[in-house]
């Protein structure tokens, strides 16, 4: 039985559908995650739920401790991750209320740590050409169809630093690149999930047209929250439907991403670093 991790974005702070619920506090070498992790069972599958902004939405996008969040999920045995996230649309045909299963990222963040191997006595370079797990994406697509959601398969997500929304010039620039949606969180999660060898997929919930659209109201938090309330129920139904369709995580390329990624000679990696990063590198570099 696989263990699935759900990272809930704006509007999704709890999973009432779970049974055998337990709240777990996890400490990591990178500090504390956004909140306690909710462990439960859903359709016979073990599910770990983490609200990325904390319950009550206390943590801004640029202040999220992404490394602690992903490390905590890895430590608890999560084998694949679905990230539920609010996004702005950059395309006319991606309407507020639609869902997008993105498959690529453009990273416009600038101040957040995006690797477990920063400030460590270890250098690693993981392959990241295809950041989304295709098997998990396909399972989400089938589950979305099952519950009758309007879903678009494929698309590019521009990840901005936040917490401000885009300027009009930035929004038009992103459209000129051919990007589909804009958000503030997912590329950092995807990078860290790959280093943690966890297959990762995004369920993006369109809340607005950003600020490029000439005939729609510019994005405001009031508009975002109104659409989010509608989308969150759909996301919950998709999660409930996807657990019966989850792929075998061991067949994902992400499950062995670190195999050839470590370039530091083993004799130069000290015991403390091996111990601290054991959940990530232990199968390749034993602590002893």
pLDDT band at 233 (very low <50, low <70, confident <90, very high): confident
* Alpha-carbon span 226 to 9, nearest angstrom: 15
Q: pLDDT at position 167, please?
A: 93
Q: Is residue 288 domain-resident?
A: no
20, two tokens: 């055998």
Q: Sorting pLDDT into bands at 50, 70 and 90, what band is 131?
A: very high
Interval 227-236 mean pLDDT: 82
- The mean per-residue pLDDT over the stretch 139-149 comes to 96
pLDDT(220) > 70: no
In the predicted model, is pLDDT for residue 9 greater than 60? yes
Look up tokens 């405001």; give the residue: 220
Which residue, 104, 248, 119, is CA-closest to 178? 104
Residue 138 domain-assigned (yes or no) = yes
Higher pLDDT, 144 or 286: 144
Whether 205 maps to a domain, the answer reads: yes
pLDDT for res 210? 81
**Residue 41 is encoded by which pair of tokens?**
């069972």
**Do the Cβ atoms of 19 and 3 come closer than 8 Å?**
no
Question: What does the alpha-carbon distance between residue 187 and residue 159 come to, in Å, rounded to a whole number?
Answer: 6
Tell me which residue has tokens 């050409």. Answer: 129
Q: CATH no. for residue 180?
A: 3.40.50.1580
Give the DSSP letter string of 223-268. HHHHHHHHHHHHHHHHHHHHGGG---GGGSGGGGTTTTTB-S-GGG
Residue 287 located in a structural domain = no
Q: Please give the residue range of the domain that contains residue 240.
A: 3-281
Does some domain include residue 269? Answer: yes
As a whole number, the mean pLDDT across the chain is 92
Could you give the residue numbers annotated as active site?
A: 208, 210
Residue 286, domain member (yes or no): no
Closest CA to 9 of 154, 185, 159, 182: 185
* Residues 6 or more apart in contact with residue 102 via CB below 8 angstroms: 132, 154, 155, 156, 157, 180, 181, 186, 202, 204
Closest to 283 in 3D by CA, of 5, 114, 74 = 74
Element spanning 190, H or E? helix 186-195
Q: How many domains does the chain have?
A: 1
pLDDT band at 102; cut points 50, 70, 90: very high
- What confidence score (pLDDT) does residue 224 get? 65
Query: Using one digit for the tens of pLDDT, what is the confidence trace for 146-201?
Result: 999 999 999 999 999 999 999 999 999 999 999 999 999 999 999 999 999 999 99
List for the chain the helix, strand, coil content (%; round to 5): 30, 25, 45
Residue 219 has pLDDT above 60, yes or no: no
Q: What is the pLDDT of residues 82-100, one digit of tens each?
A: 999 999 999 999 999 999 9
pLDDT confidence of 218, banded at 50, 70, 90?
low
Write down the pLDDT at residue 211: 81
């Amino acid at each position: 039985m696989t263990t699935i991790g759900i990272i809930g974005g704006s509007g999704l702070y709890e999973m009432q559908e779970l049974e055998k619920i337990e709240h777990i506090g996890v400490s990591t070498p990178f500090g504390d995650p956004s909140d306690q992790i909710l462990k439960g069972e859903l359709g016979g599958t073990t599910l770990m739920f983490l609200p990325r902004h904390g319950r009550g939405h206390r943590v801004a996008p640029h202040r999220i401790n992404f490394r602690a969040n992903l490390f905590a999920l890895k430590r608890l045995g999560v084998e694949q991750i679905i990230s539920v996230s609010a996004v702005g649309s950059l395309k006319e045909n991606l309407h507020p209320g639609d869902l997008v299963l993105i498959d690529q990222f453009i990273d416009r963040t600038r101040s957040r740590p995006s690797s477990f191997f920063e400030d460590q006595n270890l250098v690693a370079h993981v392959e990241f050409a295809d950041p989304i797990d295709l098997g998990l994406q396909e399972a989400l697509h089938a589950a979305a169809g099952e519950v009758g959601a309007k879903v678009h398969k494929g698309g590019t997500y521009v990840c901005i630093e936040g917490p401000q929304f885009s300027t009009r010039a930035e929004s038009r620039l992103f459209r000129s690149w051919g990007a589909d949606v804009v958000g503030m969180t997912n590329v950092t999660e995807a990078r860290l999930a790959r280093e943690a060898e966890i297959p990762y997929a995004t369920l993006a919930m369109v809340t607005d047209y950003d600020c490029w659209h000439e005939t729609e109201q510019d994005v405001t938090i009031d508009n975002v929250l109104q659409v989010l309330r509608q989308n969150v129920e759909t996301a919950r139904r998709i999660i409930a439907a996807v657990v019966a369709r989850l792929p075998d995580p061991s067949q994902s390329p992400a499950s062995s991403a670190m195999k050839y990624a470590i370039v530091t000679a083993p004799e130069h990696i000290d015991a403390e670093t091996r111990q601290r990063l054991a959940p990530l590198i232990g199968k390749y570099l034993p602590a002893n």
